[in-house]
Every structure is written in C-alpha cells, then in structure tokens.
Amino acid sequence: MTPADVNEQVPRAASDAASRGLAVEFVQRDGSGRPTSGEFGGATVAKTVVVQRGDSFVFVLTPLDAQFSWAKLRSHLGVNRLSLPDADAAFAATGYERGTITPLGASTAWPVILDRSLAGEEILVGAGQHGIGARVRADDLARAYGAEVAQLTDVV
C-alpha cells in the first residue's frame, strides 16, 4: 500500500491535520488489533483514551504500555469524577471506534492532554482506522491541538 493509499483511507484525520498545519505521516502497521509493541519504526506508540468528565470529554495521550493515574488526571482537571465512556458513547463523542480513537479528525475537537513522557518524542497515534497509525512529533501535535502537557504516568 502506498502512502497515497493510506491517506485516502483516513481522510478526516489527514484533512484535520493539514488544516492545522500538522505534519503527519500515515503508516500501515501489521495487524488490525491493538499494537503489541510500544515502539514502531523508532516512534513511541501512544494510545488515545477518551475520558468523560460530566457532559464533555477529553483525549488523554500516554505511552501504549503505561497506565495513567486517575488521581493525577482528576487533580490536573480540577474535578472529582471522571469515567470511561462505553463503546457507543465513545463513538458518539469522537466519531471513531475504540482502538482507532484519535484527536485527528475527531467529530468534536475535545481538549487534549499529553503525558509529559511523550514530550519531545516522535509518536504513533491512532488515525481513525484499524491498522493505520499517524506518525507525528508530539510537540507539534500538542501545539496544533492546544494540548496541555501533564505528568499523568510514572514513565519518565
């Protein structure tokens, strides 16, 4: 599959990235399930978790193999209660199925929070379709989406 073929499969993500001046390389990875390695071609694989806070949501980006601290996230957001939406609510909030969720081209531009451990790294995030990733500089993604950077994991 050529890069042009991959771009055609992720038009919302590609269009959104382009409109924000964000340089992204869409790549096809092996398999269509969850990545099995925290690294892909020299980039850190980052997962995007959509988290519900009241009637709104936030995108939390952390390294694939790390778990974020709910307490740290609640403290950062200044709230007492957060939850993971079920698959239907996550789809309604983002326009993407679980396992493909990304801020790139999401149906609503929810706030983005990037784990501090990803700052300065080249990362691979979801692209809205199973088996395709978006390779991007974390700092550029943070700038393009006005992301907050916070220490949410124990990864240093």
88-121 pLDDT, tens per residue?
999 999 999 998 999 999 999 999 999 999 999 9
Domains identified in the chain and CATH numbers? 3-150 (3.90.960.10)
pLDDT exceeds cutoff 70 at 136:
yes
Phi, psi of 131, rounded to the nearest 5 degrees: 85, 0
> Is residue 32's pLDDT more than 60?
no
Per-residue CA distances from 2 to 30, 39, 98, 135 (Å): 15, 22, 25, 15
Q: What is the pLDDT of residue 33?
A: 53
- Average pLDDT score, the chain: 90
- Token duo for residue 88: 């239907």
User: Does 152 have pLDDT greater than 50?
Assistant: yes
φ, ψ of residue 82 to 5 degrees: the values are -140, 160
pLDDT at 1: 46
Range 24-36 average pLDDT: 73
Distance CA 65, CA 7 (A): 27
Please name every residue paired with 59 in a beta bridge, in sequence order, or none if there are none. 50, 112
Looking at per-residue pLDDT, the higher value among 5 and 44 belongs to: 44
Closest CA to 107 of 26, 36, 1, 15: 15
In this prediction, residues 53-68 reach a mean pLDDT of 95
Is the confidence at residue 142, as pLDDT, over 50? yes
